[in-house]
Amino acid sequence: MKIIISPAKSLDFESKAPTSLFTQPRFLEQSETLNKKLKTLSKKKLSDLMKISDDLAQLNYDRNQTWQTPFTSENAKQAIYSFTGAVFQGIDATTLSEEKIPLLQNNLRILSGMYGLLKPLDLIQPYRLEMGTRLKVGSTENLYKFWNNDLANSLNEELKEGELLINLASSEYFKALPKKTLKVPMITPVFKDFKNGEYKTIMTYAKMARGYMVRYILDNNVETIEDLKGFNIENYRFSEDMSTGNELVFTR
CA distance 107 to 136: 32
Separate counts of helices (H) and strands (E) for the chain: 11, 10
Q: How many domains does the chain have?
A: 1
State pLDDT tens for residues 220-238. 999 999 999 999 999 999 9
What's this model's pTM, rounded to 2 decimal places? 0.96
Contact 130, 51 (CB under 8 A): no
Report the pLDDT averaged over residues 170-176. 94
Determine what percent of the chain falls in helix, strand and coil, rounding each to the nearest 5: 40, 20, 40
pLDDT, the chain, mean: 96
Statement: residue 252 has pLDDT above 90: yes
pLDDT of residue 179: 80
Statement: residue 84 has pLDDT above 90: yes
pLDDT of residue 110: 98
Report the pLDDT averaged over residues 168-195. 93
Which amino acid is it at 172?
E
Per the structure, the complete domain to which residue 203 belongs is given by 2-251
State pLDDT tens for residues 151-160. 999 999 999 9
Report the pLDDT averaged over residues 97-119. 96
Statement: residue 245 has pLDDT above 90: no
CA distance 179 to 182: 5
Statement: residue 39 has pLDDT above 90: yes
Statement: residue 58 has pLDDT above 90: yes
Q: Buried b / exposed e across 36-54, counting CB within 10 Å, b at 16+?
A: eebeebebeebbebbebee
State pLDDT tens for residues 123-146. 999 999 999 999 999 999 999 999
**175 closest CA partner among 164, 167, 185, 184:** 167
pLDDT of residue 144: 96
Using alpha carbons only, how large is the chain's radius of gyration in Å? Answer: 18
Statement: residue 190 has pLDDT above 90: yes
